[in-house]
Structure 1
Amino acid sequence: MPAIIIPKHEQAQGAFDGGAILESKPIGFPQDGGQIRPYSTLFYWAHAWSDKGGVIGEHPHKGFEIMSFVLTGEIEHYDSKLKGWKKLKAGDVQIIRAGSGITHAEKINDAGSIFQIWFDPDLNKTLSKPASYNDYKADSFPVFEDRESKTKVMVGGTQVSMDSQVDYIQEITFFVSEKIFSLKADSVYSFFVLYGSLNLNGKKVNTGDYAIVKQEVEMKLSSIELNARIFIIKTPIDPGFETYAKMTGISGN
């Protein structure tokens, strides 16, 4: 199946705190008007940033597993279990297992940027669980390097514990012009270009673009720029349960 590519300018857009925080959403809510609806165990994916700092006020969550990946700068997090603010720096990761319910708030500090990604862990099971969270420091994640690339592994054989079906979450920096990935036809590979330009199976993708590859056994990525970098997530095409998106008729892709 040909790769689906959503350029940055075609992604749903959002803002908080009077425009102090801006967002591009590869996977947005139905009302956001984006091209991509929830699929696999991925429900929502936002790239948020702030030039001078901004706040997303306290708000509730239930059921989902919500992960924040700090890309640049610093953020601060408050929730109803912690009852205080905690700081996270570039490279750090946080997971909120929202369970039966939790409220939280976020600050994105000057020149900060994050991914916030929601995963569906099967709400029929998690809505009865107490909420929990963990923070993971950047230096706690393994990094593997060879002639072709450097790979930071955040999920998949690491200390990060998730209920959702996620095979891996990785950040890959390319050292050579071409890298061929062996894929599983029953999995979906979702990635965001963090930096640079690449050719994906012959199609160009640039910084901020989003791509989905599934039902393929091979993916060829050719970096046009040295040190091009992607953020990639592997999940099952069929997680084996009725996701919230399917239950509510908003799933797609």
Structure 2
Amino acid sequence: MSVEIISKHHQAQGAFDFGRIRENKPIGFPHEPGGANSMSNLFYWAHAWSDTGGLIDTHPHQGFEIMSYVISGKISHYDTKYDRWLDLNAGDAQVIRAGNGISHAEKVLPGGEFFQIWFDPDLTKSLKKEASYSDITASDFPVTETDNGSIKTIIGEGSPMKIDTEGVEIKEVSDISGSWKMDLDSDSIYTVYVLEGEGQTGYGSVVPNDFLVLRDESQLTIDFSTSARLFVIQSPAKVSYRTYAEGQTF
């Protein structure tokens, strides 16, 4: 059994556009100090924001599947496949299936905040596919109301967002108050980003921007003292193919 809590201070840090866009990275690139290493088919996870607005200029991607999820405000996306800018608002998401290659750029509007998360599909298959992407508006994601919070399924049963990377489920849980419990599958790895809320677990306290990694656990319980919002990714403990982190090459 294993639970790790990584504070924002101990995550990798980054910036774009002369510091106009800032990042903390719970899972950084392999050469970056801080944060967790890539795990399963979850390769990279960055939390980015801009107070003034900023640009991440055009750059290429290949093979990986890249999801952007807008936490607050607005971002705008450009890609070379469709040659147009598209706005994404709070709660919207986009996945780029980079396939055999695509270039894109992002603008973060003032006050914008988003996650960018890279998933690692079977490169022997994904590199042979034409690049494609999907944009999903917030209202199209299914939401389930529970006794203690609303669960929005971003990837998983009922969601229109599909990726080739196997065994991934993503949920955002909001409006949590008091004690929150989640049953866990021992065959999965769970990563949890605390967007809002202060609470206590059996492994220590959590505050906003903390990142939890759980392996071989049957349940996670957090007793929150303030209203909370969590972003949860479930990944398979074992992947059926060799991942990029394990030496799969382009």
Does TM, scored on the shorter chain, surpass 0.5?
Answer: yes
Conserved? CA contact 1:77–1:85, under 8 Å: yes
Name the CA distance, whole Å, in 1 between partners of 2:166 and 2:200. 28
Q: 1:220: which partner in 2?
A: 221
Q: In structure 2, list runs of 5 or more residues that go unmatched.
A: none
Q: Note if 1:245 corresponds to 2:242.
A: no
Q: 1:208: which partner in 2?
A: 209
Name the CA distance, whole Å, in 2 between partners of 1:83 and 1:47. 26
Q: 2:10: which partner in 1?
A: 10
- Residue pairs, 1:168-179, within 5 angstroms: 168-179=169-180
- Residue pairs, 1:142-157, within 5 angstroms: 142-157=142-157
Code of the residue aligned with 1:8 in structure 2: it is K
How far did 1:180 drift? 2.2
Q: 2:118: which partner in 1?
A: 118
Corresponding residue SS for 1:3? strand
How far did 1:203 drift? 1.4
Name the CA distance, whole Å, in 1 between partners of 2:167 and 2:71. 20
Name the CA distance, whole Å, in 1 between partners of 2:177 and 2:33. 37
Conserved? CA contact 2:177–2:225, under 8 Å: no
Moved more, 136-145 or 213-222: 213-222
* 1:126-151 alpha-carbon deviations (Å, 9 max, x no partner): 00100000100000011111222211
- Residue pairs, 1:221-236, within 5 angstroms: 221-225=222-226, 227-236=227-236
* 1:82-103 alpha-carbon deviations (Å, 9 max, x no partner): 1011111000000000000000
How far did 1:173 drift? 2.1
Q: 1:75: which partner in 2?
A: 75
Code of the residue aligned with 1:68 in structure 2: it is S
Name the CA distance, whole Å, in 1 between partners of 2:123 and 2:201. 34
How far did 1:202 drift? 4.2
Q: 1:44: which partner in 2?
A: 44
Corresponding residue SS for 2:26? strand
Code of the residue aligned with 1:71 in structure 2: it is I
* 1:107-141 alpha-carbon deviations (Å, 9 max, x no partner): 00000010000000111110010000010000001
How far did 1:174 drift? 4.6
Q: In structure 1, list runs of 5 or more residues that go unmatched.
A: none
Q: Note if 1:56 corresponds to 2:56.
A: yes
Conserved? CA contact 1:177–1:222, under 8 Å: yes
Name the CA distance, whole Å, in 1 between partners of 2:25 and 2:49. 12
Name the CA distance, whole Å, in 1 between partners of 2:111 and 2:177. 30
Conserved? CA contact 2:16–2:22, under 8 Å: yes
Name the CA distance, whole Å, in 2 between partners of 1:14 and 1:124. 30
Conserved? CA contact 2:76–2:108, under 8 Å: yes
Corresponding residue SS for 1:18? helix
- TM-score in terms of structure 1 length: 0.95
Name the CA distance, whole Å, in 1 between partners of 2:130 and 2:27. 27
- Residue pairs, 1:93-172, within 5 angstroms: 93-157=93-157, 158-172=159-173
Conserved? CA contact 1:8–1:24, under 8 Å: yes
Code of the residue aligned with 2:214 in structure 1: it is V
* 1:224-244 alpha-carbon deviations (Å, 9 max, x no partner): 21x211100001011121100
When the two chains are superposed, the root-mean-square deviation of aligned CA atoms in Å is 1.3
- Residue pairs, 1:26-41, within 5 angstroms: 26-41=26-41
Corresponding residue SS for 1:172? strand
Runs of 4+ with >4 A deviation: none
Name the CA distance, whole Å, in 2 between partners of 1:146 and 1:106. 35
Q: 1:184: which partner in 2?
A: 185
Q: Structure 1 residues 111, 185: CA separation in 2 closer, same or farther (over 3 Å shift)? A: same
Corresponding residue SS for 2:245? helix
How far did 1:31 drift? 2.2
Conserved? CA contact 1:20–1:50, under 8 Å: yes
Name the CA distance, whole Å, in 1 between partners of 2:244 and 2:146. 40
